Amino acid sequence: MQNSHRFFQNTGCRYFPCHPGADPAAFNCLFCFCPLYFLPDCGGDPVLRQGVKDCTACLRPHRPEGYDAILDRLRREAAARRQDADPAGAPAEVPAEVPKVPQDGSPDAPPDGPPNGKDPEP
């Protein structure tokens, strides 16, 4: 497969491929650390070792179809959490304008960008 937003291989990594039995030609490094790790039922096949998930045998995020499966699960988790936060289904309030934070965090710092909105001449 070719590197893209859905697939990435880091063949220069000293651990590549980091899971035993993985097909190096199809191994996707995009989710080097699985975004589903902290879900109790992540859908993979982890083993608990002294209370810590060991995902060594899991190839779910590293298969070519893993990108779609992971994003689908993250979308479902987000939707469920939104529903749990507001069971009535009312839309969340969004502020009309988000205030800009000064670059250095102080109240007196200049706003991002040049004062006239144009880039300075070289």
What are the tens digits of pLDDT across the range 19-75? 988 999 999 999 999 999 999 899 988 999 998 999 999 999 999 889 999 999 999
CA-based nearest residue to 42, from 61, 23, 26: 61
Burial class (CB in 10 A: 0-12, 13-18, 19+), 90: exposed
Say which DSSP state 53 is in: E
For residue 7, pLDDT beyond 80:
yes
Cβ atoms of 22 and 53 within 8 Å: the answer is no
Please provide the average confidence, as pLDDT, over all residues in the chain.
80
**pTM value > 0.85:** no
Torsion-angle region of 21 (φ positive above 0: left; ψ -120 to 50: alpha; else: beta):
left
Predicted local confidence at residue 59, as pLDDT:
92
For residue 122, pLDDT beyond 60:
no
- Region 69-93: mean pLDDT is 83
Strand ranges in 9-121 using DSSP code E only, listed in sequence order: 47-49, 52-54
- Region 5-12: mean pLDDT is 91
77: tokens are 């988790």
Predicted local confidence at residue 86, as pLDDT:
78
The domains of the chain are located at 24-85
pLDDT band of residue 78 (cuts 50, 70, 90) is very high
